[in-house]
A and B are shown apart, each in its own frame.
Chain A
Amino acid sequence: MIRLERRASASRFWVWATPVVAVALTMIFGGLMFLLLGKNPVEVIRTIFWDPLFGEFAWYLRGQLLVKAGPLVLIAIGLSLGFRAGIWNIGAEGQYIMGAIVGAAVGLAFFPTENRWIFPVMVIAGAFGGWAWAMIPALLKTRLNTNEILVSLMLVYVAQVILAMASTGFLRNPEGSGFPGSRNFSNYPAAGNPELIAGSGLHWGGVTAIFVAIAAYVLLQRHILGFQIKLAGQAPRAARLHGVVPQRLIVLCMGISGALAGLAGLFEVTGPAGQISIDFNVGYGFTAIIVAFLGRLNPLGIVLAGLIMALTYIGGEMAATNLGLPSAAVQAFQGMLLFFLLGVDVLTNYRIKLGGAA
């Protein structure tokens, strides 16, 4: 008989061992799946985890890791603040889209003016777009006590419709002979977000992500707001007694996560994506939820988790192309990672007891 017994306090060991065990289990069971698909599991796993870092084309792929991890980390850090306080912003994908649209719209309004202040203004506009979109569920929650999970999620689909309108209508490239999609920012230097060092993959989004991770770490460790966030999540009643106003915390956490998601969208649309198009969003806002938990809601852990997630994407692509693996198998592999993470996570708060009921 196996029983779960609640720990008096969360195990510090398992908080950090969980992701490692989850990755190891994913490799084992993912390997089994690859074996069943008739592939050499060692070769597939090497292609996913080793080749992008140390293989023949690592000099290109390492940079791509940053391209892919940047928006994930940026969004996940914002989300983690709210998640710690028990505020569930599930709609980062929508805030990401709105940040990209608002930022791009501001930049395109200046086209073709060349001025060094255009890009900074766009960055602010992008953060504002994401923030404003997050304020809808935040204010509805504080005023009408609606559920922020549902409202923020539904607003993703609204944002997608606005994105379609932008690419076929108000942001459409007037020189694009009727095709949907905005002008390409790679052809507009004042508003573009190119690689800072050619070939490195590092653009302003990656730099911002690193900066934000450090700032969030300091906030949580040293600042009263960080203390309030942690307290609100762990002991809501105690938080009230300590003078934490839940409404204020909701507006703050939703606002920060929205603004960061908006920033990620702005950096993506001006950089790697290059333009507003109908299918501009590829799910960073949702994947970032996994990244936030994989990183234990800890800013530095999230940086690591973002890189690992990026690795499974890029390595997975390589495995699909070079080894003829179906893309669904790669998605299943990523799914296993979350599954095992949540499964093993039980050990953080519970211990396994063998033997009969006490």
Chain B
Amino acid sequence: MLRRTLLASAALGLSLMATGSAMAQDKVKACFVYVGPINDGGWTQAHHVAVLKTQEHFGDKVEIMWQENVPEGADSERVMTQMALGGCKIIFTTSFGYMDATNAVAAKFPDVKFEHATGYKREHPNVTTYNARFYEGRAVNGTIAGMMTKSNKIGYIASFPIPEVIQGINSSYLHAKKVNPNVEMVVVWAFTWNDPAKEADAAQALIDQGVDVIFQHTDTTAPLALAAKTPGVIGFGQARDMEEYKPSPRVSSIIDNWEAYYIKRVQAVMDGTWESQDSWDGLAAGAVGIGEITGVPDDVKAAAEKVRDDIIAGTYHPFTGPINKQDGSVWLADGQVATDGDFAGMNFYVEGIKGDIPQ
């Protein structure tokens, strides 16, 4: 009988079950969906490190569950549903491709909080999106790249043509060009977040084209491992410090610090103060960190640190006009600063970058 009722009104049934099993818990259960393995050396590992610190922070009051290697799409929807059924009170979904699934599952479990990283859809009051201003970190690394390149060719291993990635490409290029007007940007699209073989292939393709500074917007250490075999090529840690590649080829890094955010949001669930929001912090709030700058001349280090400190102090914005779009049209007038609205749908290269964004 119970089963038939559930079949007849699944949505209601789902939410009833969720409440039922959650009430049986004393601890708050916080759950995490990862796109890669927890030891990928980059994006997922950065999340997982933060998750373990969150566990440490709360101790017995919070129970943590996670699942790694969850494909984006239909499978992620099932994993989230299983987590919600299993009594998770807050579920963090840590990849862009989980966006529609997160919202679909959130509709069925109004009492469970959902936090989707790097997306923009908040279709229900129990969905929050969160991201970090990685482009601020790119500005610092771009400065290093522009001063360090000898071939005047810098390369970018891009994952998917989404605004976050394009912001990174534009920011890296603008700041390299600011210190080196002859610099040229080569972009390779890998169409993956996490595939060591493809990432290494992309790095090799860049090196073959004469690139000697490599940026990556993918998750693993494979590009740095390849760069390590090629003298004169440098790169940056991505998501994690990737300090194992110090002092060369890794000369600095962009570090994702999710820990403070996770602690804050889990605490909000415990306090009953959780609300839907769109969180986008950067260097100043510590959500993005710059790893130690090593293996470069002192003037390079000083220039990069000045960019970093100015951004933190709020005296400099990485996208300050005049900046033209790739087609030569004006994007930001002299002194004009990009707004968050400008970033949200960024789908164009700035002037000087060659090639097309895949579409």
Contacts and interface: CB of A to CB of B under 8 A. Distances in A.
Interface of A: 57, 59-61, 64, 67, 164-165, 168-169, 172, 177-181, 184, 186, 197-200, 268, 272-275, 277-280, 282, 314, 317-318, 320-322, 324, 326-328
Give the most central of B75, B104, B120: most A CB within 10 Å: B75
Contact of B7 (A197, A273, A279): A197
Give the most central of A61, A64, A178, A327: most B CB within 10 Å: A178
A282 B73 contact: yes
B346 interface: yes
Give the most central of B78, B120, B160, B191: most A CB within 10 Å: B78
B163 A178 contact: yes
Contacts of A60: 14, 81-82, 85
A355 B81 CA distance: 56
25 contacts: A59-B7, A64-B78, A67-B74, A164-B191, A165-B358, A168-B160, A168-B161, A177-B344, A177-B345, A178-B163, A178-B345, A179-B96, A186-B104, A273-B73, A274-B74, A282-B74, A282-B75, A317-B67, A320-B68, A321-B66, A321-B86, A322-B86, A326-B37, A326-B68, A327-B37
A180 B8 CA distance: 35
B97 interface: yes
B69 A180 contact: no
A163 to B, nearest CB: 9
Interface in B48-70: 65-69
A356 to B, nearest CB: 48
Contacts of A282: 71, 73-75
B77 interface: yes
Given A177-B345, A179-B162, A168 B65 contact: no
B67 A198 contact: no
A348 B358 CA distance: 51
Contacts, number: 112
Give the most central of B81, B191, B344: most A CB within 10 Å: B191
B334 to A, nearest CB: 26
B313 interface: no
A212 to B, nearest CB: 21
B359 A317 contact: no
Interface of B: 3, 6-11, 13-14, 17, 31, 37-38, 65-69, 71-75, 77-79, 81-83, 85-86, 96-97, 100, 104, 120, 160-163, 191-192, 344-347, 358-359
A277 B72 contact: yes
A64 B358 CA distance: 35
B104 A57 contact: no
Contacts of B73: 272-274, 277, 279-280, 282
A258 to B, nearest CB: 22
Nearest to B358: A168
Given A168-B359, A169-B359, A199-B10, A279 B72 contact: yes
B9 to A, nearest CB: 7
Contacts of B3: 59
A67 B82 CA distance: 15
Contacts of A181: 100
B347 A178 contact: yes
Nearest to A321: B67
Contacts of A197: 7
B67 A327 contact: yes
A180 B358 CA distance: 10
Closest 9 CB pairs of A and B: A199-B10, A178-B347, A272-B74, A177-B345, A327-B69, A198-B10, A169-B359, A321-B67, A282-B71
B358 A164 contact: yes
B318 to A, nearest CB: 20
A164 B158 CA distance: 14
Contacts of A64: 78
Contacts of B68: 320, 326-327
Nearest to A177: B345
Contacts of B79: 317, 321
Contacts of B104: 186, 274
A273 B11 CA distance: 19
A184 B123 CA distance: 14
B65 A178 contact: no
Contacts of B71: 279, 282
Given A273-B74, A277-B73, 12 more contacts: A59-B6, A60-B14, A60-B85, A177-B120, A177-B344, A179-B163, A199-B13, A278-B191, A279-B97, A279-B192, A318-B82, A322-B65
Given A60-B14, A172-B359, A180-B160, A321 B75 contact: no
A180 B37 CA distance: 24
Given A177-B344, A317-B78, A327-B67, A184 B10 contact: no
Contacts of B347: 178
Nearest to B34: A327
Nearest to B348: A178
Contact of A320 (B14, B67, B74): B67
A268 B163 contact: no
A180 to B, nearest CB: 6
A134 B65 CA distance: 43
Contact of A198 (B7, B65, B82): B7
Nearest to A161: B191
Contacts of A318: 82
Contacts of A184: 100
